[in-house]
Amino acid sequence: MPSFRFAEQFALFDVTPLENLFIEEYMLRAPGDYVKVYVYALRLCYHPGPEVSLPSMAMAMGLEEESVLGAFTYWERMGLLRRVGDNPLAFSFFNLKEAVLSQKLKPTADDLPYREFNTALQELFGERILQSADYMRVYGWIEELGLEPDAVLELVAHMVKTAARKSHVGWALLDKEARNWAKNGIKTKALALAHLRTLGQAYEGARRVLRQLGLNRSPTVDEERLFQTWTESWGFSLEAVLTACGETTKISNPNFAYIGAVLSARRDEKRQALFAQARALLQALGESRAQPSADFLTACEGWLGAGFTPEALLLAAKTAYRQNRRSPEELSRLLSLWQAEGLKTKPAIEVFLQRRGEEMLRCETLLRACGAERRPTPADLAALRAWVQAGASEELMLLAAEYARHSKNPFGYMAKVLENWLGSGIFSAEAARAARESAQKAPLAAQGGAEAPASQPKGKTVSAQRVPQRSYSDAEFESLYADLGALLKEESP
């Protein structure tokens, strides 16, 4: 069978046609080494030579074999050639004009997903020119790890920005960070931005630590991550971390690893203190043999974080025990009620109880004055607070109780009298007596022979309407106050 080919000795004097379509649509935006590989491979299409292999091509162009193979993969993605064999490696080049005319190839940005991405990636590195192997590594993050191109750009931008020298950020470090992002599911731009916001705080915090150590440089990514662990996972504040820096005076080379060891020891101490606190609460609840569960330890940590002192927590546990509400869930409900009242310290509880004790005594006095033989209810105390807030004097309330003494519902009748007085602007016993004398001259109202309270003037608002009140259920009231006063007396030295 006849065989035809150009004489090899004339190949140097021949030409390799390079289409303008390739130059305009592909070459200008492709990495330099990729263009070099494409043109050389195109030349070999016309003059293949006796032995054409990947190693010989790499040697001829002064490139690594991996870079050459990466270039072929890039052009295959662009649709300019197709891999047709692996052993030996073989590619088939397309004629660009024919591919465009037959609509096999459309040289537009929409069909070249990496065109704009490559440009944006190169801009991040400034004067540092990316090589073909660099692009191939980044494409692997997109195609193998599943990172979106925009997420990759955010990752690289952050790493370049925080590198000590922008032109020397290592690809090994970049690759490690990309794999960390993929492992943690940070694959979209939105998730990347959210993650970088936390890293920004870690970066600034790590810089503060470096300055505290007397080091005038930017923190590394590993140092950022360590700071993030200390503050977010271990719960230390920036001030606590900076305080731990003082321990580095014991060593000749202050570093983050030593600070981490110091904080780890303090974390263990903190855990031990938390465990002891939780154990004491369980004992106060009557669970002398129980060990704190992980959930109970978390709850205790939350109560302490909310501002409760250990003394207040222990007091709450003993109160819950006295009320026969001895489960952690009941303790949590009790503390929620205390927190709503701002009762987070033992002194605050003592002040609160003293005030409530005075209210209880005043309310009992009023009940006895009006002839009601019972203990004050939460509603009674709420009414008393409303009258006091509206401006009622002690004498005025006792006078209303005296007038209500022989009614069927003494406390209810007293409340009506007081509300009418307060609504009419009567705040003293003298003014109330004067109003009563005036009312006695009017006909008695037909209410079982009892005097009708002075009618409420138009446009006035009674105290129960204009004074804000909080309604407590009996269960809430008992949970808040029952036995607490006696327990405080026992706790006092």
Residues facing 89 on adjacent strands:
86
Ordered by start, the domain boundaries in the chain are: 8-112, 153-254, 265-344, 352-436+456-477
Range with the poorest average pLDDT among 80-89, 345-354, 366-375: 80-89
Residue with tokens 């004074």: 467
Phi, psi of 477 (to 5 degrees): -60, -45
Q: What is the pLDDT at residue 11?
A: 55
Q: What is the pLDDT at residue 8?
A: 58
Whether residue 148 has pLDDT greater than 90 = yes
Confidence of residue 26 (pLDDT cuts 50, 70, 90): confident
Confidence of residue 256 (pLDDT cuts 50, 70, 90): very high
Stretch 207-229: mean pLDDT, rounded?
Answer: 89
Mean pLDDT over all residues of the chain? Answer: 79
pLDDT by residue (tens digit) across 275-326? 999 999 999 998 877 788 888 988 998 999 899 999 999 988 988 888 888 8
- Please give the residue that has the higher pLDDT: either 12 or 27: 27
Residues facing 86 on adjacent strands:
89
Confidence of residue 479 (pLDDT cuts 50, 70, 90): very low
Paired tokens of 10: 């004339």
Whether residue 357 has pLDDT greater than 90 = no
C-alpha 150 chain-centroid distance: 24
Q: What is the pLDDT at residue 188?
A: 94
- Please give the residue that has the higher pLDDT: either 152 or 125: 152
Confidence of residue 153 (pLDDT cuts 50, 70, 90): very high
Confidence of residue 185 (pLDDT cuts 50, 70, 90): very high
Angstrom distance (rounded) from CA 244 to CA 260 = 9
pLDDT by residue (tens digit) across 53-97? 888 888 889 888 878 887 887 787 777 888 887 777 788 888 777
- Which distant-in-sequence residues (6+ apart) come within 8 Å of 301 by Cβ? 274
Confidence of residue 219 (pLDDT cuts 50, 70, 90): confident
pLDDT more than 90, % of the chain = 19
Whether residue 489 has pLDDT greater than 60 = no
Q: What is the pLDDT at residue 226?
A: 92
pLDDT more than 70, % of the chain = 82
Range with the poorest average pLDDT among 123-137, 312-326, 442-456: 442-456
pLDDT by residue (tens digit) across 386-440? 898 899 988 999 999 998 888 888 888 999 999 999 998 998 889 888 888 877 7
Whether residue 492 has pLDDT greater than 50 = no
Stretch 173-192: mean pLDDT, rounded?
Answer: 92
Q: What is the pLDDT at residue 100?
A: 63
Q: What is the pLDDT at residue 380?
A: 86
Range with the poorest average pLDDT among 337-351, 384-398, 443-457: 443-457
Alpha helices in 391-452 (DSSP H): 394-403, 410-423, 429-440
Are 130 and 122 a contacting pair, CB within 8 Å? yes
Q: What is the pLDDT at residue 109?
A: 38
Stretch 26-43: mean pLDDT, rounded?
Answer: 85
Stretch 124-145: mean pLDDT, rounded?
Answer: 81
End-to-end CA distance of the chain: 116
Q: Which CATH architecture has domain 8-112?
A: Orthogonal Bundle (1.10)
Confidence of residue 255 (pLDDT cuts 50, 70, 90): very high
